Amino acid sequence: MLSSTPSKELRRLALSLVQPGFVGTEAPDWVLRRISEGLSSVVLFARNIATPEQVAQLTASLRPRTPT
């Protein structure tokens, strides 16, 4: 019988294909959780950008959570 829950590998593969966006100048918790699960990228839009320094902080906050 097939499980209705996708395997961790299938989830990781799926997360490597999507590029979600989000509202705000800080990454929401769901983005940080998905990155730890294998999300490989996000898209930044004008709504995510306030200053060059803020964008640098935002992108730096996303990097350490990337799985090795």
DSSP string, the chain: ---SSPPHHHHHHHHTT-----SSSS--HHHHHHHHHT-------GGG-S-HHHHHHHHHHHGGGS--
> What are the domain boundaries of the chain?
12-65
Binned average pLDDT, 10 residues per bin, the chain of 68 residues: 70 91 96 90 96 96 66
Note the pLDDT of residue 6: 64
Note the pLDDT of residue 8: 85
**Under 8 Å between Cβ of 16 and 45:** no
